[in-house]
Amino acid sequence: MKKDISEARPGPRARLTGVVYLFYFLTAIFGQFLHGRGPAIFSDGFNIIGFACYIVVTLLFYFMFKPVNKPLSLVAALFSLAGCVIGVLGLFNLSVWNTSPILFFAPYCLMIGWLILKSTFLPRMLGVPMLLAGLGWLIYLSPLVKYLSLYIVIVGVLGEASQMLWLVVKGVNVQRWEE
């Protein structure tokens, strides 16, 4: 019998989330590296793959954090999915609004950070960098970005990377998740 993703065991699913998150990081970085260094199709291709990975990560996080707070996990997922759609549309200059996907990813990071803090199956120390990443991405949208952009990117990447690496290496505390 085929199992739904929401019924899968949390340990392997958490590690899968970390692996997909890692794949997202690698494709997004490579896509940015290729930007302006050759045909745009290569950069755009890697960015599309990156957004597809982020959609999968978003869905996996939704199911992971649904037991913590189902409505907040759903709102977070909707913010992330909206950011992905705007990002993909922006790649092809199809966006109706001149909106940065960061406008959606910043609240997403804040909500995921809060869900981590409220969960019992991940260390709370992972929630703080994720909250800081969300705050940093919000600042990235302000005029302060010209003074703080390097620091914001460092905090954002460290916040998300710490969670991604934890999930790859440790996963979640299955006993606490099942409680």
* Tokens encoding 60: 């996996």
List of E strands, 36-167: none
Contacts of 120 (CB under 8 A, 6+ apart): 173, 176, 177, 179
Mean pLDDT of 110-133: 92
User: What tens digit of pLDDT does each residue of 4-50 get?
Assistant: 444 545 667 888 999 999 999 899 888 888 877 777 788 889 999 99
CA distance 13 to 5: 8
Instruction: State the pLDDT confidence band at 1, using cuts at 50, 70 and 90.
Output: very low
* Orientation of helix 70-91 relative to helix 102-118, angle to 10°: 150
CA distance 147 to 66: 37
| Alpha carbon separation from 7 to 31, 33, 60, 64, 119 (Å, rounded) | 34, 38, 12, 11, 18
